[in-house]
Amino acid sequence: MAEPKRGWFQRLTEGLTKSSKQMGDQIAQVFVAKEPLTQAKLDELEEMLIEADLGPHSAARITERFAAEKFGKDVDEAEIREALAKAVGDELTTREGAFEPMSGPRPYVVLFIGVNGSGKTTTLGKVATDLVRQGAKVLVVAGDTFRAAAVEQLKVWAERAGAEFMGRPTGSDAAGLAFDAVQTAKEKGYDVVLIDTAGRLQNKHGLMDELLKIIRVVKKVDPDYPHETLLVLDATVGRNALAQENIFGNQIGVSGIVMTKLDGTARGGVLVPVAQASDSPIKLIGVGEGVDDLQPFNARAFARSLVGLEEPVR
């Protein structure tokens, strides 16, 4: 993604309001005045993190880090927020990954995978828009050949972005389309190829097989294809995102995670256990439906906005 535009932290913060409001309110309830950090208060904090879907392991680790710094000391709400943001940020900094198609080989081939409704098509559209703005020659490929509406939806995004679009009638072979697309892109000097896929249920074997087939056939054009397989996860499903990460990670292989809909949920904390569980980093986050609502994942900024803090002074 391009350098975040001015105001991106505000969009992140606004996006995360439900999560940060929940946590913010609880912090305010637990720490009413400046008072010593006791075990009882730590337990309440841990419980609060679990409720925000950070999961028992992440919650315990974060609480420990936090206790190491503050236990027994007089603390007020503001310090708690800062310390909590630091602890969450420390958990996540090693889980940041950059999505930089323009720094990679040409054409840079990116596959978007994930269950139905997770935000694949929307994310692809946002990425296409951003890349075209950077001057890239982008090919958008409608690999979700199951539903006519999915093809149409992607076409609209491609047209708006000013990207080239490649699709086939409903029911066509997605792998065949992907093969033709990467070959075309190679011949015609495209910079980036973005391949959408069907929103499949991860427990349907036939659907996993189709994804593997897409990967297999694009590798026939170049064994390095796809350069990226981005798993798109919807934060509003909470802990279910962990199960999805597990299945797609193990069965398909993933190079990066996109977590969407962080604007629509009190469960934004689920990003933490997902980041911890996955072998691949979090690369992008979605905080809205608009074209500018996709951001590079920044662990510190995410942690700050999650606990309801302002942008740090740089």
Ligand X SMILES: Nc1nc2c(ncn2[C@@H]2O[C@H](COP(=O)(O)OP(=O)(O)O)[C@@H](O)[C@H]2O)c(=O)[nH]1
Residue 213 CB burial class (10 angstroms; 0-12, 13-18, ≥19): middle
What is the greatest pairwise CA distance in the chain?
Answer: 67
Count the site residues for ligand X by CB under 6 A: 19
For the bound state, the minimum distance from the C-beta of residue 47 to Mg ion, rounded and expressed in Å, comes to: 37
Query: Helix, strand, or coil here: 94?
Result: helix
Name the residue number minimizing CB distance to Mg ion.
121
The CA distance from 120 to 230, in Å, is 9
CA dist., res. 67 & res. 181, Å (int): 53
CB of 38 to ligand X, least distance (A): 39
Q: Which does 46 bind (CB under 5 to 8 A by kind): Mg ion, ligand X, none?
A: none
- With CB under 5 A as the contact rule, which of the stretches 37-45, 113-121, 234-242, 244-252 interacts with Mg ion? 113-121
Give the one residue of 121, 229, 265, 280 binding Mg ion; rule: CB under 5 A. 121
Which range binds ligand X by CB under 6 A, 46-54, 101-109, 216-224, 261-269?
A: 261-269
Query: DSSP H helical segments within the chain, as ranges?
Result: 8-15, 17-30, 39-51, 56-70, 77-92, 120-133, 148-161, 174-187, 205-221, 240-251, 271-277, 299-306
Pick out residues in 107-126 that bind ligand X (CB under 6 A).
114, 116-122
Contact pick of 48, 111, 132, 150 for Mg ion (by CB under 5 A):
150
Residue 167 interface partner, choices Mg ion, ligand X, none, CB cut-off 5-8 Å depending on type:
none
By CB under 6 A, name the binding residues for ligand X: 114, 116-122, 199, 232, 260-261, 263-264, 286-289, 293
